[in-house]
Amino acid sequence: MNSKVFLNYLYNLSYEILSLVLPIFSVPYVSRVLGAYQLGKYYYVTAVVTYFGIFAVLGTVDYGQREIAKRQDDILERSKTFWDVLVFRLFFIFVALIIYIPVIFFSLAKYRLLYIISIISFVSWACDVSWYFQGMENYKVTALKNGMVKIAATILIFVLIKSQNDVWLYTLIYALAGLVGNLTMFPYLKGSIVFLRPNLKHALGQFTSIFGLFLPVVAIQLYNSLDKIILGQFSTSRQVGYFSQVQIIVNFCVIFVAAYGGVMTPHISYLYQNGNKRKTIKNYIQSAIKYVYMLAVPMVIGCLCIGDIFVPVFFGPKYKAAIPTLYILACLIVVMGMGQLQGQFLIAINRQKYFSFATVSALVINFIIAIVLIVCFHSGATGTAFATVISEIVATCIEAFYLKDISGLGSYFSSFMHYLAFGALIIVPICIIRIVFNSHLLIIILSLIFGSICYGVALLISKDVIILSIIEPFINKFKRK
């Protein structure tokens, strides 16, 4: 594994792990204090605000990251790109804010305060320059600064959130956390770019290229938030709460799985721009596919084995109705992990039109199935989960098809079966633990520990290439000492 990529992976993974670990402490507390109804209001408003965020930033995150990556070695060219992208973002964020203001006044009274607080998110988007540092393959800045802000936000939740009436404060804490996190990155731009007089006309001239990456961003965000909005309109806030809380568990795992692909995107863009051999890129992509399976497969099996006791322990006994939703969404750990990886690679090698086609197709399928199941069959959170799974599978399969000349379709199946065989081994220790112990919390902890040990040892014994590539740098460093 390339040393620079590996270091960025560690920074990105550390940040993602922190993002995953903090909810372990805050989510059970918030679920009990605010309750499913108040959390449903928060998630509903957040979903609506997300729509405005989509149109505010368009496809500038992926576009900016990719274009900066191509120009890493030229400070003038990357500075020009930086100012163009920043001015472009500011213009459309301002337009989105003007459109957003009437939403506050015409919204239901129970949501109005949350909408007003969410104006802070627009300021946060304007101050976000993380795409620049990601393009420069400098994940240290984004990881350390945003990590500290997340820790502070979590502490504030425990200190300030005390009753169901504090949902407005919960919204405010997260909105301010995003803004402060973005502001802390600005000092690190000094010396990395030079000031060039912004030119709005020239910046808007990038619209066609940015819009090419806007469609997949729209589709992804729409079917991430559309389910919650349909649930909120045609079902209940409680169902929104069930679905959203279970999504936290799934996203907890997906982010962990997708960390490697995130740092690979600018590196692949750099290699592709500088004419590196196709074989080099192919090796990176195939290794990334194996990495996703190595982490995701045992996570899915673990969710299926202990999901029935994990949900009430983590969220509280009132969330038992969400257990079937977790069983359905669990497979997304593999599907979304692979889908995000493939989408990032398609963008990196300038095949974003296929990424757009995949995500738009998934959006349409998700909308149709969700409407039928939620409106016609009143299936609530479980119906929403089923619609999400089907749409994500469709998107992932389409992406795999358009990467087949590089990745090879055969590698998907062979790698999946390889890690499925080893992943199945964790069922044995988990079943024994469930029989021997009665404490649900103890069962969860021991299952995670011994399941991981069993899986890891099996991979080491088989000399799995991915696990060896991960531990090899540490072994070499130890030998040098």
If DSSP states are collapsed to H, E and C, what string results for 118-176? CHHHHHHHHCCCHHHHHHCCCHHHHHHHHHHHHHHHHHHHHHHCCCHHHHHHHHHHHHH
The pLDDT score that the predictor gives to residue 419 is 96
User: What 3-state class would DSSP assign to 193?
Assistant: strand
Q: What's residue 46's pLDDT?
A: 86
Position 147 scores a pLDDT of 85
Within 8 A by CB and 6+ apart from 174, the residues are 153
pLDDT at position 311: 93
The pLDDT assigned to 108 comes to 65
- pLDDT of 333 reads 94
How far, in whole angstroms, is CA 196 from its chain's centroid?
A: 33
Residue 447: predicted pLDDT: 96
Residue with tokens 């389409």: 398
> What are 304's two structure tokens?
């299926």
pLDDT attached to residue 458 = 95
User: Hey, how many other C-beta atoms are within 10 angstroms of the C-beta on 2?
Assistant: 12
Give the model's pLDDT for residue 120.
Answer: 94
Could you please report the per-residue DSSP string of 326-391?
Answer: HHHHTTHHHHHHHHHHHHHHHHHTT-HHHHHHHHHHHHHHHHHHHHIIIIIS--HHHHHHHHHHHH
Single out the residue of 322, 293, 24 nearest to residue 158, CA to CA: 24
pTM of the predicted structure, to 2 decimals: 0.73
Q: Which residues of the chain have pLDDT under 50?
A: none
At 200 the pLDDT is: 82
Q: How high is the pLDDT of residue 276?
A: 58
Joined together, the tokens standing for residue 3 give 């040393």
